[in-house]
């Protein structure tokens, strides 16, 4: 999980967001590069980031948690499916 404190610290260290370090931290490499090349989209984007960064961290963390849940659900479904197939195979072989 990513920390809001770390994201805001990176925003501050990167000259109030102009260098976009906080975007790299959240895995938004393309946006980070744009921030570097345009000096935080001419400073306006950095100001917007000040107010929206907490929500961006929350969105990142939520997406990571959903990926974990989906992976666990798929693993459980695969295991259940394999167990059902094995039980059906055993039942079929006993009839013969």
Rounded distance between C-alpha atoms, residue 16 and residue 9, angstroms: 9
21-73 pLDDT, tens digit per residue, is: 999 999 999 999 999 999 999 999 999 999 999 999 999 999 999 999 999 88
Local confidence band at 78 (pLDDT 50, 70, 90 cut-offs):
confident
- Domain segments of the chain as ranges: 4-81
Q: What is the pTM of this model?
A: 0.76
Q: Is the pLDDT of residue 14 over 80?
A: yes
Q: What is the DSSP string of 6-43?
A: HHHHHHHHTTTTTT-HHHHHTT-HHHHHHHHHTHHHHT
């Amino acid at each position: 999980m990513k920390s809001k404190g770390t994201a805001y610290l990176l925003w501050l260290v990167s000259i109030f967001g102009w260098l976009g370090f906080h975007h790299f931290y959240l895995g938004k490499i393309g946006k980070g590069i744009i921030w570097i090349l345009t000096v935080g989209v001419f400073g306006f984007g950095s100001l917007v980031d000040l107010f929206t960064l907490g929500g961006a961290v929350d969105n990142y963390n939520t997406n990571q948690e959903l990926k974990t849940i989906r992976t666990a659900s798929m693993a459980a479904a695969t295991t259940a499916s394999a167990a059902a197939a094995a039980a059906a195979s055993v039942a079929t072989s006993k009839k013969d």
